[in-house]
Amino acid sequence: ALGPSSPADKPAAAGTSVEDVMPIATGLEREELEAELQGKKRFDMDPPVGPFGTKEAPAVIESYFDKRIVGCPGDEGEDEHDV
């Protein structure tokens, strides 16, 4: 299984660029590279940030799909709750 330090997470070798890799890239890698060329992120792996969501004012979690399963790691202080 690939862990947090998988080869895919390592920077490309010195001197290579998206343009160098595009001719051989396929599938999801190609989608990611095409998005990078447009200045976009195809896969947003960063956790959402912003105010704590409530029923009255939910935190909006964007998704590429119609639905998305999300979880909450909890918080401390005023926003503390059971996880």
**Residues flagged as binding site:** 72, 81
Query: What is the DSSP secondary-structure string of the chain?
Result: ---TT-GGGSPPPTT--HHHHGGG--HHHHHHHHHHHTT--SS--SPP-SSPP-SSSPPP---SSS---------SGGG----
Binding site residue list for Zn(2+)? 72, 81
